[in-house]
Amino acid sequence: MRRWTVALPLAVFFVLVGFFIWRLDLMEHGDMPNIIPSVMINKPVPNFDLPPLLLDKAGLKSSDLRGQVTLVNFFASWCIPCREEHPLLNGIGEKVRLVGIVYKDTPEQARAYLTRLGDPYKALGIINSNLDPKDPKSQVGIDFGVTGVPESFLVDKQGVIRFKQIGPFTPTDIKTKLLPLVAELNK
């Protein structure tokens, strides 16, 4: 009895070390503790109707998200991780219908951003850059539970949110998380 209690603190120490290594390893694989699981998963998309960003491309409203699997990408021209993600979005169009929502940005700057980096979106809505408590159009980001950009929501054919990506997609995220889910939802 006596003998093993002496080793107890050391045992506790190694259990803790093991725990920390395990957590660090999870972080290495993208499981960050500061990423908050969304409560919007498995809920229908909030109701919204956003004006178009471009003259020759439709705006975005919630009813557009029914009928086919769609990836809704929130982005802004001032957002550096969005730029990092953009080349990946340019290549994703054949695999899933991609629509965009411009978040806290001016139309001019958002247009310039797309002219420079390419426009992979099938439809583009814009949220007024300043929140107006009387204008529901300015609150679409909050209705989606967006905390920053980029954030993306995968919506199934019934208009239900099935997956949320917080922060930019990496090629691995697209290959291991997004595309398998798209294939499953398309069945």
Q: Which residues sit at the interface with another protein, rule CB under 8 A?
A: 34, 36-40, 104, 131, 133-134, 139, 142-145, 147-148
Total count of residues recorded for the chain: 187
Query: Parallel, antiparallel, or unpaired: how do β-strands 60-61 and 49-50 relate?
Result: antiparallel
> Which residue, 41 or 179, has its beta carbon nearer to another protein?
41
Residues 6+ apart with CB under 8 A from 7: none
> Which residue, 40 or 179, has its beta carbon nearer to another protein?
40
Say whether 73 sits in a helix, a strand or coil: strand
The least distance separating another protein from the CB of residue 56, rounded to whole angstroms, comes to: 31
The least distance separating another protein from the CB of residue 121, rounded to whole angstroms, comes to: 24
Q: Specify whether the CB–CB gap between 45 and 159 falls below 8 A.
A: yes
The least distance separating another protein from the CB of residue 38, rounded to whole angstroms, comes to: 7
Query: Parallel, antiparallel, or unpaired: how do β-strands 151-155 and 161-166 relate?
Result: antiparallel
The least distance separating another protein from the CB of residue 37, rounded to whole angstroms, comes to: 7
The least distance separating another protein from the CB of residue 142, rounded to whole angstroms, comes to: 6
Rounded to an integer, what distance in angstroms lies between the CA atom of residue 123 and that of residue 120?
9
> Which residue, 55 or 133, has its beta carbon nearer to another protein?
133
Say whether 108 sits in a helix, a strand or coil: helix
> Which residue, 29 or 134, has its beta carbon nearer to another protein?
134
**Residue 40 forms beta bridges with which residues?**
none
Look-up of token digits 């583009």: 124
> Which residue, 38 or 70, has its beta carbon nearer to another protein?
38
